[in-house]
Amino acid sequence: MCLFTESGLGLKRRNHDHDEQQIEDDILPEFKEYSFEDLRIATSDFSDANILSGQGDKAPNVVYKGKLSNNRWIAIKRFNKSDWPDSNQFLEEAKAVGQLRNERLANLIGCCCENDEKLLVAELMPNYTLANHLFHWETQPMKWTMRLRVALYLAEALEYCSSKGRTLYHDLNSYRVLFDKNGNPRLSCFGLMKNSRDGKSYSTNLAFTPPEYLKTGKITQESVVYSFGTLLLDLLSGKHIPPSHALDLIGDGNNFQTLVDSCLESHFPNDDGAELVGLASRCLQYEAHDRPNVKSLVTTLTCLQKEIEVPSYALMGIPHEPASPRKPLLPLSPLGNACSRMDLNAIHEILQNVGYMDDEGVTNELSFQIWTSQMQECLISKRHGDTAFRAKDFSAAIDCYTQFMEGGTIISPTVWARRCLCYLMVEMGQEALGDAMQAQVISPDWPTALYLQAASLFSLAMEKDAHETLREGTTLEAKKSNIKS
């Protein structure tokens, strides 16, 4: 039986109260540009004691750990001064990678580009690399179940990146795989950036380089699958064996036991080993078109998973502090319930019936005498948008509401809320989330804005954050009800 697991996104994007001092590790800030001074202070002037990888100042592209003024721990990659001569290209690449947010990635949260300094800022993963746990373990070898989980999570990371248009990953290897505080493996976002002056460098070890790169100097998504195959060999053998040598040992695939890590001591089914070797062999095919795609990697590896209820930190033997218990969820209002079920028709009916009464003051503004032709044009656009909204012509409603917003003379959170639902109706979840957040900015005490944010997050498969936003919406609505009563 194939056991499927859901992968949500560990992203938060709302502002918290100003008096909240402690940062939750799973709340990711939006991508930002840091000053060099910020990062110099965070790393104690790039102290050798803070080096995570590299050989000091003389080594290129050293990675440091650092701590920002808000107590967030970060990883900072400092490029060699001769790399990235084009500052605009560096910023464009960093910002593009910084838009990715996934719990399978060690996400990029910022960069710095000042003079000849180029640095990337990412989440800090405190539990070392896959290379440490596979090749240099001190307490216990990695269990077979965990090795299968690592393979799946990495495949899911690559599939997510591919779905966002980032199909290339440079030099995928066991040092690019990091473990977070919960022991879950994550793929370093640094490999999504070009890693040399001309962006063509792929691997530092020719024995592990895809054959097409050696012939043409170009990489493709199939090249990344080839490198994924070398990682499968690492997981199977506990060694970093060149693919050609490993394939010679395997032969026709029936002799995979010669490749298996002796630390496993047969603590895994032979069928699993044969399946993993077979998958690695397909990934390592000489011709790129003979290799599987990332989606099929996820499908195959999902079916091999075991002990899915056991957390990674337990399988890894990593100490773990239990999370603080959450407050129980209050009963949902009709709108909250509709958003939790993603019943877009019910949401539409509620927003239409409520009208503009939740704008808390905007209603009166809309009823004022029209003083200028610009205001009149804005209100005409809004009126046409409402007509299209009632008729469920959501594309037309988006156009009309956009014209109203661009007029700039009247600000209405309800218009943002209605356009948010229109975007959800046409499957534009990211745009819907932006509108719901803007509605909250305009009217911070309006629960509807939070409920629509939750619906938008559900549409983006961000289950964890959607439920947390529902919780905030119900808490706010209960608070407002108590004040009124």
Residues with catalytic annotation? 171
Rounded Cα gap, residues 308 and 319, in angstroms: 19
Q: What is the residue-wise DSSP string for 342-355?
A: T-HHHHHHHHHHHT
Rounded Cα gap, residues 399 and 388, in angstroms: 10
Q: Which residues of 425-460 are buried (b: 16+ CB within 10 A; e: fewer)?
A: beebbebbbbbbbbbbebbeebbbbbbbbbbbbbbb
Angle formed at CA 336 by CA 331 and CA 337, multiple of 5 degrees: 75
Which residue type occupies 15? N
Rounded Cα gap, residues 178 and 184, in angstroms: 8
Q: Residue 78 corresponds to which tokens in the numbers above?
A: 């400092």
Angle formed at CA 362 by CA 356 and CA 368, multiple of 5 degrees: 105
Rounded Cα gap, residues 437 and 249, in angstroms: 56
Looking up tokens 């970093």, which residue turns up? 240
Q: Residue 296 corresponds to which tokens in the numbers above?
A: 């099929």
Q: Which of 141, 124, 123 is closest to 132 using CA atoms? A: 141
Rounded Cα gap, residues 402 and 405, in angstroms: 5
Alpha helix stretches (DSSP H) within 75-219: 87-98, 130-135, 144-163, 211-216
